[in-house]
Amino acid sequence: MSRAAVGDAVAEDEQVGEIETDKTTIPVNAPSAGVVVELLVEDGEKVTPGTKLCKIQVGEVAAVKPVEQPSRAPEASPQPEVLKDGPVPTEPPPFPAQIPPLPTGPMATITPTPLPSPQTGRSPSVESVKAARTESRAKMSRMRLRIAERLKGAQNELAMLTTFNEIDMSKVIEMRKQHGEEFAKKHGLKLGFMSPFVKAAVFALQDQPIVNAVIEGNEIVYRDYYDISIAVASPKGLVVPVLRDCDAMTLADVEKSIFELGVKARDGTLAVEDMDGGTFTISNGGVFGSMFGTPIINPPQSAILGMHATMERPVAVNGKVEIRPMMYVALTYDHRLIDGREAVTFLKKIKKAVEDPRVVLLDL
């Protein structure tokens, strides 16, 4: 999608356009300073690697001087009106010869003048102003079209089923309060909720390898690596960058990787390689306040975990009612491959690992 126009002066490495792919937007920068003399492709046209996009006449970019406005002559200020000299009157004006008589009848017989009604007494020049009812149309980006195609394709192809559970976030919140400041000083970023869930997901995938598998033709492909896709909302749409080899990551490694990918997503600098692959997806709608939802699987994966907002709710603990920070979680899975027993067991494993992180350390 072209940004620069013919005649525009561009500096070296200045963005002159962008190429939209199915997964991301790739910026196109000027190789040197100069002036755009010709656009070789139209806006929205498909291009292949090696296609020439525009011609730039190399040279120094002259600074554009502001157009000087012609000076305007100062307007002459109006002169005050000078009264002509004349005789000063010494007598008051004459009193009217006749005064109209006052009414002498009873007050009840005097007909009062009716006041104008709100409808009939309104000035015809005052009309009620109605809000304009307008419509506008915008072309869907290639990324948005691809997102729509993939989501609808997932609904049509996969036998999606969702199971739910709830997680007591007390231990994770306590861990953040107790070690969050020290964690931030050492690693330079805050400890969030995503890293415990990523590690819990890896722990559960190792326990239920069928959730990490995928159907290809008439075969089931089991993966012994754990690349977790993280759904991120970007200005261009939903993107799903991948954290590679999460089983070998620490909580700090996960937080750093998520932060770096989030910055790339906001700046629109995610590369295609950042989103290739992925064996399992985590989507955190809780950052927007979502309390409950059913996520859609990211093909060709077989399952996706949906996180939601943490809310304080009354729960039964050892026969007593207590207020605990609770989060609903949802697992949508492909029922062609994953049975209900494996799906429920997988989600309970995540619940167990998040509610007590010692379970992961002890491999219970």
Write out the DSSP string of 70-103: PP-PPPPPPPPPPPPP-PPP-SPPPPPS--PPPP
Write out the DSSP string of 20-49: E-SS-EEEEE-SSSEEEEEE-S-TT----T
pLDDT beyond 70 at 97:
no
Residue 244: what pLDDT? 93
The tokens of 205 are what? 């995938």
The share of the chain scoring above pLDDT 70, in percent, equals: 78
pLDDT beyond 80 at 71:
no
Residue 2: what pLDDT? 47
Q: pLDDT digits over 13-56, tens only?
A: 777 777 776 556 677 878 878 888 878 777 777 778 778 878 88
pLDDT range class, residue 67, cuts 50, 70, 90: very low
DSSP designation for 293: -
pLDDT beyond 90 at 60:
no
Q: Which helix (H) or strand (E) holds 156?
A: helix 142-157
| Backbone φ and ψ of 231, nearest 5° | -70, 125
* Catalytic (active-site) positions: 335, 339
As a whole number of angstroms, the distance between CA 252 and CA 247 comes to: 13
Q: Which residues pair with 333 in a beta bridge?
A: 161, 303
Burial of residue 363, with CB atoms counted within 10 A of its CB: 0-12 exposed, 13-18 middle, 19 or more buried: exposed
Residue 66: what pLDDT? 42
pLDDT range class, residue 198, cuts 50, 70, 90: very high
Please give the sequence-ordered ranges of beta strands (E in DSSP) within the chain, or none if there are none. 9-10, 15-20, 25-29, 34-39, 54-58, 160-168, 214-216, 219-221, 228-230, 232-234, 237-239, 242-243, 280-284, 303-307, 310-317, 320-334
Residue 61: what pLDDT? 56
Q: Closest Cα to residue 162, out of 289, 345, 304?
A: 304
As a whole number of angstroms, the distance between CA 231 and CA 229 comes to: 6
Lowest mean pLDDT among 140-149, 189-198, 285-294: 140-149
Mean pLDDT over each residue of the chain, to the nearest integer: 81
As a whole number of angstroms, the distance between CA 36 and CA 41 comes to: 13
Q: pLDDT digits over 288-346, tens only?
A: 888 889 999 988 899 999 999 999 999 999 999 999 999 999 999 999 999 999 999 99
Instruction: Decide: helix, strand or coil at residue 137.
Output: coil
The tokens of 333 are what? 């899975």
As a whole number of angstroms, the distance between CA 63 and CA 50 comes to: 32
- Per-residue burial over 132-167, b if 16 or more Cβ lie within 10 Å, else e, is eeeeeeeeeebbeebbeebeeebeeebebbbeeeeb
The half-sphere exposure of 276 on its side-chain side, counting CA atoms within 13 A, is 4
Which residue type does 96 have? P
Arithmetic mean of pLDDT, 160-173 = 94
User: Which carries the bigger pLDDT value, residue 278 or residue 19?
Assistant: 278
Residue 12: what pLDDT? 78
The pairing of strands 25-29 and 15-20 is antiparallel
